[in-house]
């Protein structure tokens, strides 16, 4: 009755060694067989392994980490955990990490000086063996400062802008945008509007690509055709589409920087009594799970998420294994090719009563 009731006090390496009648070093060696420039007697190993089994012994990760063995923990810093695209990315990264024996520590990066600090603490220490930056975090100066000074292994995913000295994995937003616009253009659309999704991340590249495409083809970007949204949310897409309808010459197609925005546009169109795609075509970007189930199904550009996750994790583990991150000079940037997914939200213009312009 002396000890806390039901407290199974944890099996230690020492106990294993004693019960097996060997030294701790021996047990440790058997556990980490990779370091075996040292041979071990088969009989000894046998015996030790049996004891380990019997006692259901598990190495203490903290102790291990403290001594320099790594923590099997990867930090994942995300701005918006609940965003459908990022949620899917988190899932993919978590799966991929686990395939390699790592768990994720979630750093939710909602802007705020104090929070960024906490986050940095999680990172900077040896708590995590490495970290993945998911999404655009350029507006987190403390984070970058912290990263700069540390030798932590870091990889960025969907970072949008370049991260100094940090290997990056993202999809080729320019190519994706061109795919979307070519699709619309091919259907006969000329009046194509663009809704961005705030200033963050990949959105910027898509915006640039839109303007480049329109200029190249000599398509007009009328006043108001490029709507600036306050953030990446259906709400924003909804309002922006309304603004589009107020224009003297509304577009016949809308290219949205993200699916989230596009879903808002679909909602707005429905509420305005417009039919998609008869009255107006809509294209998104990302191919979030919901895109398939929108009404109508959303034509969009798919990011190869699993492959991106795999690549990011592999790069990160590579960095970890190879010692530290030589955070200097331009780092490798991996750009995966997206693909166009055509669903029901796009069609040739004029299928309805003359496009969105016919409204009112």
CA distance 288 to 298: 10
CA nearest neighbour of 256 among 346, 354, 157: 346
Tokens of 208: 């640039």
Q: Is 7 in the site for DNA (CB under 7 A)?
A: no
List the one residue from 33, 50, 60, 211 that touches DNA (CB under 7 A): 60
Residue with tokens 């930056």: 133
Q: Is 2 in the site for DNA (CB under 7 A)?
A: no
Q: Which of residues 210-229 bind its own copies (CB under 8 A)?
A: none
Q: Are 168 and 334 spatial neighbours (Cβ–Cβ below 8 Å)?
A: yes
C-beta of 45 vs 359, nearer to DNA: 45
Single out the segment in contact with DNA by CB under 7 A; choices: 13-21, 159-167, 203-211, 227-235: 13-21
Q: Are 353 and 291 spatial neighbours (Cβ–Cβ below 8 Å)?
A: no
What is the closest distance, in whole angstroms, from the C-beta atom of residue 286 to DNA in the complex? Answer: 41
List the one residue from 234, 250, 338, 349 that touches its own copies (CB under 8 A): 234
C-beta of 68 vs 329, nearer to DNA: 68
Q: How far is CA 239 from the centre of its chain?
A: 26
Q: Is 55 in the site for its own copies (CB under 8 A)?
A: no
28 binds, among its own copies, DNA, none (CB under 5 to 8 A by kind): DNA
Single out the segment in contact with DNA by CB under 7 A; choices: 24-32, 104-112, 154-162, 349-357: 24-32
Single out the segment in contact with its own copies by CB under 8 A; choices: 19-27, 63-71, 189-197, 308-316: 63-71
List the one residue from 46, 50, 63, 358 that touches DNA (CB under 7 A): 63
Tokens of 110: 């909602």
List the one residue from 14, 33, 50, 98 that touches its own copies (CB under 8 A): 98
What is the closest distance, in whole angstroms, from the C-beta atom of residue 128 to DNA in the complex? Answer: 15
273 binds, among its own copies, DNA, none (CB under 5 to 8 A by kind): none
Q: Are 311 and 334 spatial neighbours (Cβ–Cβ below 8 Å)?
A: yes
Residue 155 bridge partners (DSSP): 132
C-beta of 63 vs 342, nearer to DNA: 63
218 binds, among DNA, its own copies, none (CB under 5 to 8 A by kind): none
C-beta of 1 vs 38, nearer to DNA: 38
57 binds, among its own copies, DNA, none (CB under 5 to 8 A by kind): DNA
List the one residue from 69, 149, 231, 326 that touches DNA (CB under 7 A): 69
CA distance 208 to 206: 5
Contacts for 2-9: CB closer than 8 Å, 24+ residues apart: none
CA distance 157 to 89: 9
Q: Which of residues 290-329 bind its own copies (CB under 8 A)?
A: 290, 292-297, 323-324, 326-328
Q: Which residues bind DNA (CB under 7 A)?
A: 10, 12-14, 21-26, 28-29, 31-32, 35, 38-41, 43-45, 57-60, 63-64, 66-69
Q: Which residues bind its own copies (CB under 8 A)?
A: 4-8, 58, 60-63, 65-66, 71, 73, 76, 80-84, 87-88, 90-91, 94-95, 98, 101, 103-108, 110, 115, 118, 121-122, 124-127, 149-151, 234-235, 238, 263-264, 266-267, 270, 289-290, 292-297, 323-324, 326-328
């Amino acid at each position: 009755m002396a000890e806390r009731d039901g407290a199974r006090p944890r099996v230690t390496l020492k106990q294993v060694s004693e019960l097996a009648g060997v030294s701790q070093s021996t047990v440790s060696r058997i556990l980490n067989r990779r370091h075996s420039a040292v041979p071990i007697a088969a009989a000894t190993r046998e015996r030790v392994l049996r004891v380990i089994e019997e006692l259901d012994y598990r190495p203490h990760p903290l102790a291990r980490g403290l001594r320099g063995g790594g923590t099997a923990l990867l930090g994942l810093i995300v701005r918006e955990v609940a965003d459908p695209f990022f949620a899917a990315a988190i899932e993919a990264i978590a799966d991929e990490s686990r395939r390699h024996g790592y768990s994720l520590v979630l750093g939710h990066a909602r802007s705020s000086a104090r929070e960024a600090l906490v986050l940095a603490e999680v990172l900077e220490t040896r708590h995590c063996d490495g970290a993945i930056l998911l999404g655009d975090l350029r507006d987190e100066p403390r984070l970058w400062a912290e990263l700069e000074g540390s030798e932590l292994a870091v990889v960025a995913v969907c970072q949008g802008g370049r991260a100094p000295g940090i290997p990056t994995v993202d999809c080729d937003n320019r190519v994706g945008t061109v795919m979307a616009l070519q699709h619309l253009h091919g259907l006969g659309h000329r009046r194509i509007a663009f809704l961005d999704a705030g200033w963050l991340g990949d959105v910027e590249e898509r915006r640039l690509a839109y303007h480049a495409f329109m200029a190249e083809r000599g398509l007009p970007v009328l006043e108001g055709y490029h709507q600036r949204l306050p953030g990446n949310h259906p709400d924003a897409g909804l309002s922006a589409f309304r603004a589009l309808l107020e224009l003297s010459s509304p577009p016949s197609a809308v290219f949205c920087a993200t699916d989230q925005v596009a879903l808002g546009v679909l909602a707005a169109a429905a509420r305005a009594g417009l039919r998609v795609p008869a009255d107006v075509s809509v294209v998104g970007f990302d191919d979030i799970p919901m895109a398939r189930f929108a009404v109508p199904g959303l034509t969009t550009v798919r990011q190869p998420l699993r492959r991106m996750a795999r690549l990011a994790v592999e790069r990160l583990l590579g960095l970890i294994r190879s010692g530290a991150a030589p955070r200097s000079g331009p780092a490798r940037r991996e750009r995966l090719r997206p693909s166009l997914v055509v669903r029901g939200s796009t069609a040739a213009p004029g299928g309805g009563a003359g496009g969105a312009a016919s409204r009112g």
